[in-house]
Structure 1
Amino acid sequence: MEPIIVLENVCKAFGDKQVLKHLDLTIYPGESMVIIGGSGIGKSVTIKHIIGLLKQDSGAVKVYGQEVSTLSERELYSLRKNFGMLFQGAALFDSLTIAENVSFVLDRHTRLSKAEKESIVSEKLQMVGMSGYEKKKPADLSGGMKKRVGLARAIAFNPEIMLYDEPTTGLDPIMGDIINNLIVRLNRELNITSVTITHDMNSAYKIADRIAMIYQGKIIEINTPDQIKNSKNPIVSQFVRGEARVNTGAE
């Protein structure tokens, strides 16, 4: 099977801080990849390279076999139509209704009729358990409900690749588990390839096919959840157990 996302020997520095140091990562179609590591370690920087928001200093970043850093603005725009993203804070527009939030990408990027857009909005809200909230505003919703609406908006355009930025941060354990179950179900039902960055190991174990840990700018281990949980690498082992003495490399 040909990979859908490939990062080869990627280096990225900001000033004198080297964030990514010869990072390698390969992700296959339909796979749920979870990236873990300490704060400030380069997880978000890695995702921003995949979607073309950052350009590497050296190495290669390929999506669908295309080198992302060489794409024109028009080509990047076309590539990004294949992506959906659930932001850490859901990033809903407070002035819009829930239906308008979910329809936002359809309004901007399609010429669908009003009825067609309403049908898609209804379908996606139903998929995330938010039917009946179309006329509400984000201020009327809890944090977990906002995340679900954010997820409905992210899948409105039927993306092939989903990027999740700390999807369970700020949620209680029950709501966090609801979001995890949604991610697993949507990946399966929509055949989505997903890349998730998280500190939440319970979430990582539940949603991942493979987990990759970044340490000092590199992937130091990539394996199945069970193998990561029982890793012999002391840095990985200390991190996944939440032991305070681990040096995450984020200094």
Structure 2
Amino acid sequence: MIDLYYWTTPNGHKVTLFLEETGLPYRVHGVNIGKGEQFTPEFLSIAPNNRIPAIVDNDPAGGGAPVSLFESGAILLYLAEKTGKFIPADVQGRAEVLQWLFWQMGGLGPMAGQNHHFSQYAPEKIPYAIERYVKETNRLYGVLNKRLADRAFVAGDEYSIADMASYPWIVPYANQGQDLNDFPHLKRWFEAIAARPATVRAYGLVESINPNQSTIRSEEERKILFGQTASVVTAKAE
């Protein structure tokens, strides 16, 4: 059994996509990041960076003590290796998946996240910041669109953890100032993943975990989500 510490964000959805595809048994523990639940000592013992998602695998391969992990990319890779699914066994195929997994972790996710922050959540609208991140998001969409021009999925003909990592960051494309019609190959890929039964089940968790999602944050939530410093994290952890 896997314990999943989750909230309804793109990074959280990555893990539920994998778990629903494979049928691995798991329990969901909602971590309401707007209320500061990511700072509880219990959660920090699993995820010291105070970010979701995190997992505890109570039945690791080979037995032994439970394995805890944070960072969505690390979790996807761990689960892929545990199950032997959604990552190729051959060196070249594995390399293709890993480079695009790291592309998402180092590029698409952080840039789209900054896009969300300055265009949706920042109390002050800063035109330069909004333009900078909308344009960079657009560039990354273009990279992905070109990549998908001659293959079904990001790393080739088979669905992989590289796709699971990127798809949730494309879901809020409208809030990112993007039009999928400008990226026909990306749109085809996006629609194919959206139609997968496991994707439907994964996103169905939103209604039970966080049914009242909103793009408007209270001032208290803003302070919790965007006002973190080392002193805050240290104080919460002690």
Q: TM tier, shorter chain?
A: 0.3 to 0.5
Q: TM-score, normalised by structure 2?
A: 0.34
Q: TM-score, normalised by structure 1?
A: 0.32
Write 1 or 2 for the structure with the bigger share of strand.
Answer: 1
